[in-house]
Amino acid sequence: MAQILASVIDGVLIGSIYGLAAMGLTLIWGVMNVINLSHGAVIVLGMFALYYLSSVLGLNAYAALPIVIVIGFGVGVALYWIAVHRVIGRPPLMSLLSTFAVNMVLIGLGTAFWSTSPYNVPVSLPSVSWQGYTYTGTHIVAAALAVVIAGLLYLLLYRTRVGKAVRAVAANRAAAEVCGIPTTQVLALSFGVGVTLAFASGMLIATLFPFTVLSGGAYQLKSFVVTVLGGLGNPAGALLGGLFLGLIEGVATPFMPVSWMPMIEFVLFVFVLIAFPSGIFSFTRK
Q: How far is the CB of 13 from another protein (least distance, A)?
A: 8
Q: How far is the CB of 62 from another protein (least distance, A)?
A: 17
Q: How far is the CB of 20 from another protein (least distance, A)?
A: 15
C-alpha span between 145 and 154 (Å, rounded): 14
Q: Which is nearer to another protein, 60 or 127 (CB)?
A: 127
Candidate list 122, 178, 274, 286; residue touching another protein; CB under 8 A: 122
**Window of 24-32, 93-101, 108-116, 224-232 that interacts with another protein by CB under 8 A:** 108-116
b/e per residue 228-252 (b: at least 16 CB within 10 A):
bbbbbbbbbbbbbbbbbbbbbbbeb
Residue in 264, 215, 218, 258 with CA at minimum distance from that of residue 244:
264
Q: How far is the CB of 69 from another protein (least distance, A)?
A: 23
Would you count residue 10 as binding another protein (CB under 8 A)? yes
Q: How far is the CB of 244 from another protein (least distance, A)?
A: 16
Would you count residue 215 as binding another protein (CB under 8 A)? yes
Site for another protein (CB under 8 A): how many residues? 41
Q: How far is the CB of 136 from another protein (least distance, A)?
A: 5
Would you count residue 114 as binding another protein (CB under 8 A)? no
Candidate list 104, 210, 267, 277; residue touching another protein; CB under 8 A: 210
Q: Which is nearer to another protein, 7 or 54 (CB)?
A: 7
Candidate list 6, 87, 187, 197; residue touching another protein; CB under 8 A: 6
Q: Which is nearer to another protein, 15 or 237 (CB)?
A: 15
- Residues 217-276 interacting with another protein (rule: CB under 8 A): 217-218, 249-250, 253-254, 257-259, 261-262
Give the residues lining the site for another protein (CB under 8 A).
Answer: 2-3, 6-7, 10-11, 14, 111, 115-118, 120, 122, 127, 129, 132-134, 136, 138-139, 205, 208-212, 214-215, 217-218, 249-250, 253-254, 257-259, 261-262
